[in-house]
Structure 1
């Protein structure tokens, strides 16, 4: 399996930071070759070229179009993390969601 760099985006990066930590542990348990980072939405444009997928916190669903425009030149998928994964900080669920999003590209 190829190595994927996954970027989680939320307002200040706090809640997504906890989710990223749990997801990183889950990826290691599943032997999924992933690097999962969480960053504030304010830096997405500056760092997106280093990632294979952008996952947004549910509260950014209304801004999905804006993020799709940002990632378009890099040809990477962007998706909104389901509330049940985000709200429960479900690291394993996030890994599965990221893989599914990448496969659908």
Structure 2
């Protein structure tokens, strides 16, 4: 599973991607997670199965969902408090909810 985390400039998405990658790895899941920006999204979508969108990009969700659907990727708008998910388990649960996979973590 390839997880793209998108934010405005790439800084906060880097932290979220790193945390969800570690949470997946600790559960033995062969997931990759990488950070992107709103500007790099058209290119980054080609390498993503799931797109996690930073809460500050809620205004762009319709466009992001349309572009992702054209490539077969699912989209999740992250909650405003996602940056407090220090171990990435809550974010991983959101990925599981979007893909229908149970990671043993309550969403």
- TM-score normalised by length of structure 2: 0.85
Which has the larger helix fraction?
1
Q: Secondary structure at the match of 1:74?
A: coil
Question: Following superposition, which runs of at least 4 residues in structure 1 exceed 3 angstroms of deviation?
Answer: none
Task: Give the superposition deviation at 1:75.
Answer: 1.9
- Which residue, out of 64, 73, 78, partners 2:75? 78
Alignment of 1:2-81 (within 5 A): 4-81=1-78
List alignment gaps of at least 5 residues for structure 2.
102-107
- TM-score normalised by length of structure 1: 0.87
Residue 94 (str. 1) matches residue 91 (str. 2): yes
Q: Is the 8 A contact 1:18 1:89 kept in 2?
A: no
Q: Secondary structure at the match of 1:26?
A: helix
- Relative CO higher for 1 or 2, CA cutoff 8 Å, sep ≥ 6? 1
List alignment gaps of at least 5 residues for structure 1.
none
